[in-house]
Amino acid sequence: MGASRSIVCHPTESQPEAAIVITDESVQTNGRPTEAPGRDEQLSELLDVLRDRASRPLEEAKALPPAFYTSEALYELEIEHIWRRSWIHVGRVEELANPGDYIKRDIAGEPIVVARGRDGQIRALSRVCQHRFMDVLDGAQDKGNAEAFACPYHKWSYALDGTLQGAAHMSRSALFQRDKAEICLPRFQATTWQGFVFVNLDPAAPPLSDVMDHVEAKMGNYNGEEWRLVDRIEWGDTPANWKLVVDNGREAYHHIGTHLESLEPLWPAHMVDFEPLETADFFFARMFVSPEAAIGQEDGHYLNPLLLPPAPNLTAFERSNYIVAGIYPGFILVPGPDAMLTISFVPTGPRSHYVELDILAHETALADPDLQEKVKEYRDWLMQIQGEDAEAQVAVQRTLSSRLTLDGGPLSHLERAIWTFQRYLAKRLLGE
Ligand code: FES
Ligand SMILES: [Fe+2]
């Protein structure tokens, strides 16, 4: 039996001598448990596999093995090198319209509040009180308006820009009196792009525009600044590794399975067009409507059906498809003629993530008296699609605990973005 063979259907007969099964708990050879390797050893094996995946041409591409979706050591590395160093979508500027408007978020275990200050600036602040580490917004709504942030524990109070503005019973502390001007809620980088607000925990991170300039150049007449948040689906914590969401959201191959009755008739898998991108920090695809589901034709383009009032400034080509732009690690932007959707997720553990979906309507649609009703219909449809996706992700996570030799199957050309995602992971985790 050739040692290079990687897919083994009859493990006891055909597994190569040296075949290694990497799970998060143990290593086996030929199906027999052996002593589990150390955490470092296991991580280094995973990184070797990643190096292999990232070096393959698309025609040789294969999925990552299960341990990539369960390993705690790898998860910690991802948090450090990806999630604590990347721009994470946290909401829309219209949610922070007035001074004092705030949004609470937790990113990679870091409790954050994003707030508009009295000077009009949007800032991302730590919610960790500088006294004895209480969450200064513990028990508060996830978003709202505040005059200041008063810690519920001993009532130290911070201004909207994070500076300490008051603390009771501290007059006898010489230390406090000396240092009080320096005490503040730590700040993180915050920025906006087309009305979307992003936070980065890394003070040295390159600007978001490094990636978004490339995305923007492909967006044609779509401009997020003309769109408004009209609904949010807080789908919540889901028991699946965050990379399963990336894998799932970056291919339309699964339309023929997971979404056979819903998306496949609308945007058939074979009609999704991926741009062959040079950068690995995002991918860009277009899902074209099928002739059968189209509501008509214009300039030779089949037109996508509409649930919300469409944006008025789009070409016939732009009205023939929905864009899918996946910005790594946790933001998927899906602009279509009648709605701009976003899927935003953050990991909450090696085997779980939090996800929410936003529905944006074009600003001109706000005049439609029936908009709320139409948004409700859109929401119901999106809930169905998200339900199908989440079910698939959770089902895959369940089977990942199998101890069989599972090396990852070959990828279709329709899974091109999973292949580029592996290259992104390698760049971030291996620094190569
Ligand atoms: S921990 Fe916040 S005031 Fe004491
Ligand atoms: Fe899907």
Q: DSSP labels for 346-394? A: EEEETTEEEEEEEEEEEGGGGG-TTHHHHHHHHHHHHHHHHHHHHHHHH
132 Cα nearest atom in ligand 1: 1
Residue-wise pLDDT for 278-331, tens only, equals 677 898 999 999 999 999 999 999 999 999 999 999 999 999 999 999 999 999
Measured CA to CA, the distance from residue 16 to residue 26 in angstroms comes to 18
pLDDT of 3 strictly over 90: no
Beta-carbon-side half-sphere exposure of residue 304 (alpha carbons within 13 Å): 30
Confidence of residue 36 (pLDDT cuts 50, 70, 90): low
Q: Looking at the predicted structure, is the pLDDT value of residue 141 above 60?
A: yes
The whole-angstrom separation of Cα 164 and Cα 159 is 6
The whole-number average pLDDT for the span 203-222 is 96
Test site for ligand 1: of 125, 127, 153, 157, most ligand atoms within 8 A of the Cβ: 153
Element (H, E) at 87: none
**Residue 280 CA to ligand 2 centre (angstroms):** 21
Q: What tens digit of pLDDT does each residue of 175-185 get? A: 999 999 999 99
- pLDDT digits 0-9 by tens, 37-90: 688 899 999 999 999 999 999 999 999 999 999 999 999 999 999 999 999 999
Mean pLDDT for all residues in the chain: 91
Q: How many residues does the chain have?
A: 432
Of 253 and 369, which is predicted with more confidence? 369
Which residues, in sequence order, are bridge partners of residue 347?
353
CB 62 within 8 A of CB 418: no
- 92-134 pLDDT tens trace: 999 999 999 999 999 999 999 999 999 999 999 999 999 999 9
How many CA atoms lie less than 13 Å away from 197 in the CB half-sphere? 24
Alpha carbons 300 and 11: distance in angstroms, whole number: 53
> Which ligand has its closest atom nearest to the C-alpha of 249?
2
Q: Is the beta carbon of 132 within 6 A of some atom in ligand 1? A: yes
Give the Å distance between the CA of 53 and the centre of ligand 2: 24
Please check the confidence at residue 136 and state whether its pLDDT lies above 60: yes
Q: Which residues of 222-259 are buried (b: 16+ CB within 10 A; e: fewer)?
A: bbbebbbbbbbbebeebebbbbbbbbbbbbbbbbeebb
The pLDDT value recorded for residue 429 is: 97
* Distance between CA atoms of residues 125 and 185, nearest Å: 6
Token couple for 306: 């509409």
pLDDT at 35: 57
Give the confidence band of 25 by pLDDT, cuts at 50, 70, 90.
very low
Residue bearing the CA closest to ligand 1, atom 4 = 154
Confidence at residue 22, expressed as pLDDT on a 0 to 100 scale: 46
State residue 278's pLDDT score.
63
CA–CA separation, 57 vs 60, rounded Å? 5
Any residues with CB less than 8 A from the CB of 399 and at least 6 apart, and which? none
Q: Within a 13 Å sphere around the CA of 191, how many CA atoms are in the beta-carbon half? A: 16
* Distance of alpha carbon 349 from the chain centroid: 14
Confidence band for 19, pLDDT divided at 50, 70 and 90:
very low
Residue 277: pLDDT band (50, 70, 90) is: confident
From the CB of 151, is ligand 1 less than 6 Å away? yes
* Of 18-32, 342-356, 398-412, highest mean pLDDT: 342-356
- Identify the pLDDT of residue 18: 34
Section 268-287 average pLDDT: 86
Q: Omega before 329 cis (within 30°)?
A: yes
Set out the domains of the chain in order of their start, with CATH numbers: 88-190 (2.102.10.10), 223-403 (3.90.380.10)
User: Residue 45: what pLDDT?
Assistant: 94
Q: What is the pLDDT of residue 20?
A: 39
Confirm or reject: Cβ of 156 under 6 Å from ligand 1.
yes
Q: Is the CB of 108 under 6 A from ligand 1?
A: no
Q: Judge if the beta carbon of residue 131 lies within 6 A of ligand 1.
A: yes
Q: Is the CB of 153 under 6 A from ligand 1?
A: yes
The rounded percent of the chain whose pLDDT value lies above 70 is: 91
- Please tell me the pTM assigned to this model: 0.91
Give whichever of 24-28, 266-270, 282-286, 298-302 has the largest mean pLDDT: 298-302
Which ranges constitute the DSSP H helices of 65-207? 72-78, 174-179
Indicate the top mutation candidate among 126, 132, 158, 164 to test ligand 1's pocket, ranked by most ligand atoms within 8 A of CB: 132
Tally of CA atoms within 13 A in the half-sphere of 40 that contains its CB: 0
**If you average pLDDT over residues 382-411, what whole number do you get?**
92
Instruction: For residue 148, count other CB atoms closer than 10 A to its CB.
Output: 15
The model's pLDDT over 149-190, given as tens digits with 9 standing for 90+, comes to 999 999 999 999 999 999 999 999 999 999 999 999 999 999
- What per-residue confidence (pLDDT) applies to 401? 84
